[in-house]
Structure 1
C-alpha cells in the first residue's frame, strides 16, 4: 500500500511539472530549435552591425540601409522571441562568436573602408546566409508556426539582399 501511495504521489508531481511546460516546448524538433537560435544570432548580428554603420558612416545609402536594418530586424526579433517563448526556447541575445569577431573587424574600419566592409559583410554576405537559413526553415520546419514565420520573413530578407547588392556594387566599384 505504501508503495502504491508513493507511486501515486510521484505521478501527481510529475503531472504538475509537465503542466508547467508549454505543449510546444515538449515536441519542438532540434532542427526547429536550431533555426530559432540561428535566426536570433543572425538578427542580432545585422542589428549590431547596422548600429555601427549609423555611428560611423557618412554615406547616405549606407545610413538609409542601416536604419532599415535596425527597424526591420527589431520587428522580426520581437516576433521571433514571441514564437520561441511559446515553444519554451531561450534565444541568444548576442551574435555568435564568429559574428562578434566580424563586428570587431568592422569596428576597426573607418571611412570608405568601413562602408565597403559593411556593405559586403553585413549587407550581402549576412543576408545571403539569412535568406538560405529562412528558405530552409520555410521548406523543412516541422512546426507550422515556425515554417510560417520563416516564409513570411523571407520577402523582407530578399529585399534587404537586393538593396545590399546594389549598395555593395556602388561602394566597391573602385576596386
Structure 2
C-alpha cells in the first residue's frame, strides 16, 4: 500500500514538473527530478542557477566579515566567480529568444540560510558557512550536470557544459576547506 502511494505521489510530481510555470516546478522544488536524474526545465535551471549564485555571493560577503583568513580567501573567489557566472547566464538568457524569468531575490529557503548565518559568529559561523558551501555546490553540480546532459535549450545547455567544471572545482575547494576546520 505504502509503495503504491509513494509511486502515485512521484507520478503526480513528475506530471506537475512538465507543466509550464513562472516559478520552479514541483518536481524540481521537491528534489524528485534530482533523485531520478531528470533534467530541469529551462526555467527551473535558470531560476536555480541564479538563486545559487546569489546565495554564494551573499553568504560569501558575510564570510568576508566573519570568517578566518583561509575562509575569507575562498569567499572572495566565490564572489568573483559567481558574479561572472551570473552575468554570463543572464547574457545567454537575454540574447536568446527565451522567454524566461530571471529571479531578482533569494527564495525563502536560501534567505533563511542567510538569516541563520547572520546570527552566527566565530567557529559556529565558519562551520555553517563551510557546510552550506559543500551542500550548495553539490546541488549546483547536480543541477548543471542534469541540464548539460539533457537540457532542452541549446544555448543554456552549452552554458551548463562550459560552467560545470568550474563548479566541480568549487565543490572540491569547499570540501577541502571544510576538512581543514
TM-score range, shorter chain: 0.7 to 0.9
Q: Output one character per residue of 1:64-92: Cα deviation in whole Å (capped at 9) or x when no partner.
A: 11001000000000011111223232211
- Match of residue 110 from structure 2: 99
1:71 paired residue among 64, 80, 83: 80
Q: Is the 8 A contact 2:43 2:101 kept in 1?
A: no
1:48 paired residue among 48, 52, 58: 58
Q: Is the 8 A contact 1:137 1:147 kept in 2?
A: yes
Instruction: Give distance in 1, aligned partners of 2:74 and 2:105.
Output: 21
Where does structure 1 lack aligned partners over 5 or more consecutive residues? 1-29
Structure with higher Rg: it is 1
- Match of residue 152 from structure 1: 162
Count how many residue pairs are aligned between Structure 1 and Structure 2: 141
Q: Output one character per residue of 1:126-147: Cα deviation in whole Å (capped at 9) or x when no partner.
A: 0000000000010011111111
Where does structure 2 lack aligned partners over 5 or more consecutive residues? 1-39
Instruction: Give distance in 2, aligned partners of 1:95 and 1:140.
Output: 26
1:32 paired residue among 37, 42, 47: 42
- Match of residue 32 from structure 2: none
- Report the secondary structure of 1:142's partner residue: coil
- Match of residue 84 from structure 1: 93
Normalising by the residue count of structure 2, what TM-score does the alignment of the two structures yield?
Answer: 0.75
Q: CA deviation at 1:170?
A: 1.4
Instruction: Give distance in 1, aligned partners of 2:55 and 2:63.
Output: 12
- Report the secondary structure of 2:180's partner residue: helix
Q: CA deviation at 1:55?
A: 1.5
- Match of residue 129 from structure 2: 118
Q: CA deviation at 1:49?
A: 0.5
Instruction: Give distance in 1, aligned partners of 2:99 and 2:84.
Output: 20
- Match of residue 60 from structure 1: 69
Give the 4+ runs in structure 1 shifted more than 3 A. Answer: none
